[in-house]
């Protein structure tokens, strides 16, 4: 990751046609965003990934590890590490799958929900900073477009 400046810079290169390449735009926004998000989450001992897992654990949807892997575009073995970490810290628990005893469903603990609420608040501030250039409407629009692109 390159150095980040606090001031907004409009680089010379943004003029290139590449500035219309969705792939690069996503990569760049994701890269700079990740940096900020991870910084914001560090206070809670979380990173973007573990926060995502914790969020889903807190959602009441009782996701299996396989579902987490698919949804987060991770290898199943990476989910093992993430859940291990969260479990050791008492934020989530592995429970036996209901229909399928091979599967483990990930559920949050009370402490996990406590941390999650705090972290989410911090993250929302961070995200607003990140998308400060957008109006509230555009912000909503962006989310809608991303969701539609992903799931129709």
Partner DNA sequence: TACGGATCATTGAAAAAGTCAACGATTGTT
Partner DNA sequence: AACAATCGTTGACTTTTTCAATGATCCGTA
Distance CA 57, CA 105 (A): 9
100 binds, among DNA, a second copy, none (CB under 5 to 8 A by kind): DNA
Measured between alpha carbons, how far is residue 10 from residues 29, 30, 74 in Å?
14, 17, 33
* List of residues contacting a second copy (CB under 8 A): 1-3, 8, 10-34, 37, 48, 52, 55-56, 59, 61, 63, 67-76, 123, 127, 130-131, 133-134, 138-139, 141-143, 145-152
Question: Taking Cα atoms as reference points, which of 69, 48, 71, 53 lies closest to residue 127?
Answer: 48
Site string for DNA, 70-99 (x = CB under 7 A): ----xxxxxxx--xx---------x--x-x
DSSP letter assigned to residue 59: T
83 binds, among a second copy, DNA, none (CB under 5 to 8 A by kind): DNA
DSSP letter assigned to residue 52: H
- The answer for residues whose C-beta is within 8 angstroms of residue 95's C-beta and 6 or more apart is 62, 104, 105, 106, 107
85 binds, among a second copy, DNA, none (CB under 5 to 8 A by kind): none
56 binds, among DNA, a second copy, none (CB under 5 to 8 A by kind): a second copy
Applying CB under 7 A, the residues found at the interface with DNA are 1, 47, 49, 64-66, 69, 74-80, 83-84, 94, 97, 99-104
């Amino acid at each position: 990751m390159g150095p980040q400046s606090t001031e907004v810079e409009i680089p010379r290169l943004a003029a290139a046609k590449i500035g219309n390449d969705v792939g690069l735009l996503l990569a760049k926004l994701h890269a700079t965003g990740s940096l900020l998000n991870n910084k914001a989450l560090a206070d809670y001992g979380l990173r973007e990934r573990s926060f995502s897992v914790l969020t889903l654990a807190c959602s009441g949807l009782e996701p299996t590890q396989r579902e987490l892997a698919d949804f987060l575009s991770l290898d199943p073995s990476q989910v093992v590490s993430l859940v291990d970490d969260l479990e050791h810290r008492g934020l989530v628990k592995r429970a036996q799958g209901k229909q399928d005893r091979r599967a483990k469903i990930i559920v949050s603990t009370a402490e996990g929900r406590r941390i999650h609420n705090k972290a989410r608040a911090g993250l929302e501030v961070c995200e607003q900073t990140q998308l400060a250039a957008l109006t509230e409407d555009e912000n909503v629009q962006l989310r809608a477009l991303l969701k539609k692109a992903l799931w129709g």
